[in-house]
């Protein structure tokens, strides 16, 4: 029993330590057309600095943040450039002369379910039996970001969750988008065309939701 416990502790230490040191490879968006060129619409970036950087929120398997990665500015051009273009295309003259202050634009890849199941399916013993229920089925307020419900995904692959908030004309707008990719997407390597396309689709979906929130306000 002691041997199993020691082995479990060692395995847990390895799980905690695994963060990976590989350089993040951003997605170069092919044939990007900037629909905001020539418009008087501007965006002011007021995000906390960490939101533009890649980060594994937790390597501790019992944490509600385990397996959740903040992707940061993982696209070229940067996500806020794509946001500005999408908003200009969706809202047109409604944004003329206006300035949007972006308070948060966070892109998360939530691999928690897949990674946690992988850890527990390959280990056994009292420690793992005790730990297997920890950090699972967390409430939204128990997670730093990237939370989603099972009903919000449509494919078996880890979703991309995007959370946006900003201010326009003294009003605050917030949206959360859950995108289900058609194939697994690694958390650091977005440079392959198929991964770049999925990441771009997730941004477009979130930006479209944000545009609809703004549209309802500026059109009223």
| Amino acid 115: pLDDT | 65
| Amino acid 9: pLDDT | 39
Find all residues with CB under 8 Å of 180, minimum gap 6, and list them.
153, 154, 155, 157, 159
| Amino acid 134: pLDDT | 43
User: Based on the structure, what is the number of domains in the chain?
Assistant: 1
List, for the chain, all residue ranges whose pLDDT scores fall below the cut of 50.
1-20, 120-122, 125-135
Summarize pLDDT for 72-85 with one digit per residue, the tens: 999 999 999 999 99
- Tell me the β-bridge partners of 56: 69
| Cβ-count burial 9-42 (b if 16+ within 10 Å, e if not) | eebbeebeeeeeeeebebbebeeeeeebeebebe
Assess if residue 9 is contained within a domain. no
Please, are residues 124 and 53 in contact by the beta-carbon 8 Å criterion? no
Assess if residue 6 is contained within a domain. no
Q: What is the pTM of this model?
A: 0.82
| Amino acid 189: pLDDT | 81
| Amino acid 215: pLDDT | 93
Assess if residue 146 is contained within a domain. yes
Assess if residue 8 is contained within a domain. no
Q: Which two tokens stand for residue 104?
A: 């948060």
Which residue, among 195, 140, 135, 194, has the nearest Cα to 163 in the 3D structure?
Answer: 140
Domain range for 106 is: 24-111+138-218
Assess if residue 15 is contained within a domain. no
Distance, CA of 88 to CA of 105 (rounded, Å): 17
| Amino acid 7: pLDDT | 41
Total number of residues shown for the chain: 220
SS3 24: coil
| Amino acid 214: pLDDT | 95
Summarize pLDDT for 89-126 with one digit per residue, the tens: 999 989 999 999 999 999 999 987 766 655 544 455 44
- Cα angle 163, 208, 81 (rounded to 5 degrees) comes to 75
Distance, CA of 173 to CA of 175 (rounded, Å): 7
Q: How far apart are the first and last CA of the chain?
A: 68
Assess if residue 128 is contained within a domain. no
Please, are residues 70 and 53 in contact by the beta-carbon 8 Å criterion? yes
| Amino acid 218: pLDDT | 73
Please, are residues 179 and 155 in contact by the beta-carbon 8 Å criterion? no
Assess if residue 11 is contained within a domain. no
Assess if residue 60 is contained within a domain. yes
Q: How large a percentage of the chain has pLDDT more than 90? A: 56
**Residue showing tokens 């500026």:** 218
CATH number, domain of 59, equals: 3.30.160
| Amino acid 116: pLDDT | 63
């Amino acid at each position: 029993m002691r041997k199993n416990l020691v082995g479990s502790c060692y395995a847990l230490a390895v799980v905690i330590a695994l963060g990976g040191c590989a350089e993040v490879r951003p997605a170069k968006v092919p044939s990007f057309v900037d629909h905001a060129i020539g418009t008087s619409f501007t965006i002011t970036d007021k995000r906390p600095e960490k939101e533009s950087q890649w980060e594994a929120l937790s390597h501790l398997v019992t944490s509600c943040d385990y397996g959740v990665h903040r992707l940061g500015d993982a696209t070229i051009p940067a996500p806020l450039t794509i946001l500005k273009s999408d908003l200009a295309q969706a809202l047109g003259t409604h944004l003329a002369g206006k300035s949007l202050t972006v308070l948060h634009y966070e892109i998360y890849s939530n691999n928690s379910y897949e990674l946690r199941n992988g850890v527990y399916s390959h280990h056994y013993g009292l420690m793992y039996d005790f730990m297997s229920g920890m950090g699972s089925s967390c409430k939204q307020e128990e997670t730093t970001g990237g939370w989603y419900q099972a009903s919000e995904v449509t494919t078996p692959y880890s979703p991309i969750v995007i959370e946006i908030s900003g201010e326009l004309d003294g009003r605050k707008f917030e949206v959360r988008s859950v995108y289900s990719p058609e194939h697994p997407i690694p958390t650091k390597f977005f440079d392959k065309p198929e991964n770049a396309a999925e990441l771009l689709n997730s941004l477009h979906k979130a930006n479209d939701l944000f545009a609809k929130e703004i549209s309802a306000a500026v059109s009223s």
